[in-house]
Amino acid sequence: MRFGVISQDEKVKSWLETQIEIFGGAISDDPDIIIIFGSDRDFLEALHRIKGKLVLPIGNSGPSFFSEIGVDEVHQAIKKVVSGDYILEEAMRLSIEVDGNLMPPALNEVAIFPSKSAVPMEYVLEVDGDELFRDYSDGIIIATPTGSTAYSMSAGGPVVIKNADVILIVPVNSIDPGRRPIVAPGESLISIRDIGSRYECEAIVDGIERVKVRSDVKVRKGDSIRIIRFERKILSKGKITRKKKVTEEILKLPPSAKLILKVIEYEGPLSRKEIIERTLLPERTVRYAISQLLRRGLISRSLDPRNPRQQVYARR
């Protein structure tokens, strides 16, 4: 069985390759199985470049939303994979076209928002050519069942059993109080057109890849990804409980902290100065909001690799 390893840490990558060979696997440039070591964000980013392979996520800080195992379970996991003692979870991904250009496939969601936070945007939603409504809101999220427990859930979307063949459409903070999320059949073609705002709008895939939108975004079911699992779960109670706890913590935050969390989630790691520039909040307000987010474990703090003299804040 041929393996490949993706890791930001070269020492960890070398160590994993050694473990694979110890248990009878082979390292190959054309692998059957790709082990992805890192955070959930690292896993999502790696999947944007992977097609037609089996993947095994290993959490760098233990089990997470995508990873069932951490470093402590590596030996047992690799042994089981080499011997074929595993099951496969087939996860839907979204195929996304922005102004006719194909984006990387989304495991969680594609979100369309103005490039400046807290600025409304206008758009028309179509499903299979039928216009459903014209809306004014902060943005809109198109999510998979896997993504139903990610940003979609934080924006008020429903939790969906992960093997359901559906696509979620979640308007974010619509000015219409009656606007509700929509569950569309998996084979639907979803079009977001006539997109407009005072600022340029962007399509963001899994909170990582982003591109400017001039006129329209088309979303449909794309190729799936097969994830190696060792226990069959239709709906992970543990993951839902953790996500619910995170959502409850977010609801307790002051508006300034919620805004900063949203900006970090879709801009990526930012310094305090960059947060102030993007949110236009006073420095004192930003400092307090950051302390609240850190205390609740919603963001992490690390040295900026571009400038070791300053710190950056990232979504956990």
Residue 246 maps to a domain? no
Residues 57 and 142 in one domain: no
Taking 80 as the threshold, does the pLDDT of residue 9 lie above it?
yes
DSSP string, the chain: -EEEEEES-HHHHHHHHHHHHHTT-EE-SS-SEEEEEE-HHHHHHHHTT--S-EEEEEEBTBS-SS-SB-GGGHHHHHHHHHHT--EEEEE--EEEEETTEEPPPBSSEEEEEESSTT--EEEEEEETTEEEEEEEESEEEEE-TGGGGTHHHHTTPPP--TT--EEEEEEES-SSTT---EEEETT--EEEEEEEESS-EEEEETTTEEEEESS-EEEEE---EEEEESS--SS-HHHHHHHHHHHHHHHTS-HHHHHHHHHHHHH-SEEHHHHHHHH---HHHHHHHHHHHHHTTSEEEEEETTEEEEEEEEE-
Domain boundary among 86, 108, 131: 86
* Poorest-pLDDT segment among 4-13, 62-71, 198-207, 301-310: 301-310
CA 153, CA 210: separation in Å to the nearest integer? 21
Q: What is the pLDDT of residues 179-224, one digit of tens each?
A: 999 999 999 999 999 999 999 999 999 988 999 999 999 999 999 9
> What's the pLDDT band for 235 if we cut at 50, 70, 90?
very low
Identify the top-confidence range among 39-43, 119-123, 153-157, 216-220.
Answer: 216-220
Q: How many folded domains does the chain comprise?
A: 3
Position 240 scores a pLDDT of 59
What pLDDT score does 55 carry? Answer: 97
Co-location of 119 and 170 in the same domain: yes
Residue 267, pLDDT > 60, answer yes
Mean of all residue pLDDT scores within the chain: 88
**Residue 85 reports pLDDT greater than 60:** yes
Residues 139 and 39 in one domain: no
Residue 63 has pLDDT above 90, yes or no: no
Ranking 12-16, 60-64, 130-134 by mean pLDDT, the lowest is 60-64
- Residues 171, 286: one domain? no
Mean pLDDT of 272-286: 88
CATH number for the domain harbouring residue 68 = 3.40.50.10330
237 domain residue, yes or no:
no
Domain residues for the domain of 198 are 94-223
Residue 229 has pLDDT above 70, yes or no: yes
Q: State mean pLDDT over 289-293.
A: 92
pLDDT tens readout for residues 92-141: 999 999 999 999 999 999 999 998 877 899 999 999 999 999 999 999 99
Mean pLDDT, residues 20-49 taken together: 93
Q: Catalogue the active-site residues.
A: 40
Q: Are residues 50 and 101 in the same domain?
A: no
Q: How far apart are CA 300 and CA 240, in angstroms?
A: 21
